[in-house]
Chain A
Amino acid sequence: MFVEHLPDDRGQAHTLEAFTAALLLVTGLIFATQATAVTPLSASTSNQHVENQAGIAAQDLLSTTDASGDLEAALLYYDNGSFVGAANGEGYAGMPPESHPLHDPLTEAFGDRQIAFDIDVYYPEDGGNETGDVSMVDMGSPTDNAATASVRVALYGDDRFGADDQHVLSTDGPGRGYFADPADGDGEVLYTVVEVRITAWQM
């Protein structure tokens, strides 16, 4: 069929059809790439949503436990240089034990959802010139997509700490190895103000 070159009155129409089809295809593809901004490198809204939810859960956890007093109780659940029941080091390597005031809230917020978290406590040192920190829960290094939330908690001189609340903060705090020293003077009224920070990330 390619050998014969007979006069054909439809050749031009076929060429036009081909051009029209090609034009349709190309405009379609251009429209498609212009209409959307999603590329493999675009941030996904679903990832952002997961991040937001972890951050909201951390903030809610701090607000609710601060309001109910569990957060302060958790800060005072400290005896002889470590949080009560911590296997090694100062803090917990995973979910705190059931006796811990934050066990139930943390399980509800993160434990059931496979979300890892760190809880760090920052406190003033050296009369407010430095900031020290102690790790209450350390589950490892957060990823780039971690969310954080923090709240400040005041500890008073007559608060009791220890496994059975047997020590008084202002008199026994420094001697019994409590992590924070009085912020100012002997700390009889206001002992110190600490910042509790939760960093949560999807495992």
Chain B
Amino acid sequence: MSGDRAQTVLDFVVGMSVFLVAVGFTFAFVPSLLEPYAVGEGATVIVAERGAARLAESSLAEPSVAGGTTATLSHACTLAFFDGTDPDAAADESDCAWTANADDLHAELGVDDLRGLNLTVTQHGAIETLNSTDGPVAMRAGPAPPGGTSVSSASRIVTIDDPEDPRGPETYRLTLRVW
């Protein structure tokens, strides 16, 4: 080996590996470094909470108590929301507060189209149905959440009083997932 070299190739290898490992470690363990360039994770939690609150307290709530926090859903409005009734017809018939039905959840909640939304109303983990004259309507909207991404969810405990159900108001869980 010639003696006029201050550093050997080995030195460069060691130095480079230390540098790369340090950079990799920093970015792996401090994910918020990329925050300005990526869609914020924290925002989806807020979107989920606000969306669920809007649905439970205003959009689907009994018109008489809209704006309150009773989380009591109107049977007519909820049914119309999930079976795709025209907003104007629903507002005329049942005084419903929503302006876009389950087919266009983004418009109703004022959420950017790039975000994914999934709304379900469940009881004991199973998606529940409401009975209408055209058969049962499953209370779900939006595509299933993807497996690979981080999904935020917010839940509300709601009741729906089916006038034809002798058991009285049933308790359900309204869950909104955002990704």
Within 79-116 of A, Cβ neighbours of B (below 8 Å) are at 104-105, 107-109, 112
B169 contacts chain A at the CB level, 8 A cutoff: yes
B112 CB to closest chain A CB (Å) equals 21
Contact call A108/B171, Cβ cutoff below 8 A = yes
* Residues of A contacting B45 in the complex (Cβ-Cβ under 8 angstroms): 45, 49
Contact call A35/B157, Cβ cutoff below 8 A = no
Contacts A60-B156, A63-B69, A63-B70; A28 near B32 (Cβ below 8 A): no
Q: How large is the interface on B (under 10, 10 to 19, 20 to 34, 35 or more residues)?
A: 35 or more
Kindly supply a per-residue 1/0 record for chain B positions 68-93, scoring 1 wherever the CB is within 8 Å of any chain A CB and 0 otherwise.
01111000000000000000000000
Stretch at the interface among A2-10, A121-129, A167-175: A2-10
* Residues of A contacting B23 in the complex (Cβ-Cβ under 8 angstroms): 28
* Residues of A contacting B173 in the complex (Cβ-Cβ under 8 angstroms): 108-109
* Residues of A contacting B18 in the complex (Cβ-Cβ under 8 angstroms): 25
Contacts A1-B1, A6-B3; A35 near B30 (Cβ below 8 A): yes
Q: How large is the interface on A (under 10, 10 to 19, 20 to 34, 35 or more residues)?
A: 35 or more
Task: Please measure, in the bound complex, the distance between the C-alpha atom of A29 and the C-alpha atom of B22, giving whole angstroms.
Answer: 8
Closest to B48 in A: A49
Contact call B22/A64, Cβ cutoff below 8 A = no
Contact call A24/B19, Cβ cutoff below 8 A = yes
Task: Please measure, in the bound complex, the distance between the C-alpha atom of A6 and the C-alpha atom of B30, giving whole angstroms.
Answer: 46
Give 14 pairs: A residue, B residue, CB < 8 Å, sorted on A. A1-B3, A1-B5, A10-B6, A14-B6, A21-B15, A24-B19, A45-B42, A52-B49, A63-B69, A64-B70, A67-B70, A68-B168, A104-B170, A108-B123
* Residues of B contacting A35 in the complex (Cβ-Cβ under 8 angstroms): 30, 32-33
Contact call A14/B7, Cβ cutoff below 8 A = yes
Looking at the complex, which one of A8, A36, A38, A112 makes contact with B4 (CB distance below 8 Å)? A8
Within 139-162 of B, Cβ neighbours of A (below 8 Å) are at 152, 154-159, 161
Contact call A60/B56, Cβ cutoff below 8 A = yes
Q: Residues on A close to B: CB < 8 A? A: 1, 4, 6, 8, 10-11, 14-15, 18, 21, 24-25, 28-29, 31-32, 35-36, 38, 45, 49, 52-53, 56-57, 59-61, 63-68, 70, 104-105, 107-109, 112
**Mostly helix, strand, loop or mixed at chain A's interface?**
helix
B125 contacts chain A at the CB level, 8 A cutoff: yes
B172 contacts chain A at the CB level, 8 A cutoff: yes
Task: Please measure, in the bound complex, the distance between the C-alpha atom of A104 and the C-alpha atom of B167, giving whole angstroms.
Answer: 12
* Residues of B contacting A105 in the complex (Cβ-Cβ under 8 angstroms): 157, 159, 171
Contact call A36/B168, Cβ cutoff below 8 A = no
